[in-house]
Amino acid sequence: MNSITATTGTDGGYALENDWRPLAIAGGIVGLIGILAMAAPAVTGLSVSIALGALLVVSGIVHGVHAFTARGWRGSIWQTTLAAVSVLAGLAVLAAPAIALVTLTLALVAYLAIDGIAELATAARMSGSRGRTSVAVSGVIALVLAGFLWIGFPATAAWAVGLLVGANLLVTGLSMVAVAMAARRPMDDVTPPATEPRGA
């Protein structure tokens, strides 16, 4: 009875405190992949470029099939155009992933700059509010990173995207492990449900 109670939720469904191990293992694997990606950021960046090119080609094919099967639809012309552009862009990325990586780095610089400005503007409107300092610091860090990548461009294109992807995977993996460990509870804390006396 005790073993059954320890492996099921209170309502007979899924309970994270009883099934935390798979989440912890998955988080460890994701974190390890993140470390490997950060160790070889250039390879990771090129892999991201190739994956992006493949996704563009697949997306273009899907749009093309939809446009072909819906000829009577008014938007079929735009679907066909979008399909052609997606396929051509995907093939261009696959043909020159290094050049695409440079473009992705520029997009990353633009994103960090816009994000930093937006966070500083938000902090300026948070006069007297709690958390204003953290928002402002986050904005400053984003702008500093954008400036750092821009000053070192195009050399930073070799590692910026790969390093960012690896860091994101590492943080995600650590957060998964943290959630799993927080949900874990000792077997001694699992109390069996109260049973009525047989004579009742």
Q: Residue 68 falls within a domain, yes or no?
A: yes
Q: Residue 21 falls within a domain, yes or no?
A: no
pLDDT of residue 11: 52
Residue 40 vs residue 195, higher pLDDT: 40
- In this predicted model, what pLDDT tens digit does every residue of 92-133 receive, in sequence order? 999 999 989 998 899 989 999 998 899 899 888 877 777 778
The confidence band for 193, taking pLDDT boundaries of 50, 70 and 90, is low
- Domain range for 170 is 26-187
CA distance 175 to 123: 26
Q: How many domains does the chain have?
A: 1
Name the pTM for this structure. Answer: 0.67
Q: Pseudo-torsion of CA 170, 157, 110, 128, nearest 10°?
A: 40
Q: Residue 4 falls within a domain, yes or no?
A: no
Residue 139 in this model has a pLDDT that exceeds 60: yes
Q: Residue 84 falls within a domain, yes or no?
A: yes
Q: Residue 11 falls within a domain, yes or no?
A: no
Residues 3-11, mean pLDDT to the nearest whole number: 44
CA distance 95 to 83: 18
Q: Residue 105 falls within a domain, yes or no?
A: yes
Q: Residue 174 falls within a domain, yes or no?
A: yes
Q: Residue 194 falls within a domain, yes or no?
A: no
Tokens of 151: 């000053």
Residues 182-188, mean pLDDT to the nearest whole number: 62
- CA of 149: how far to CAs of 43, 48, 159, 161, in Å? 18, 18, 10, 10
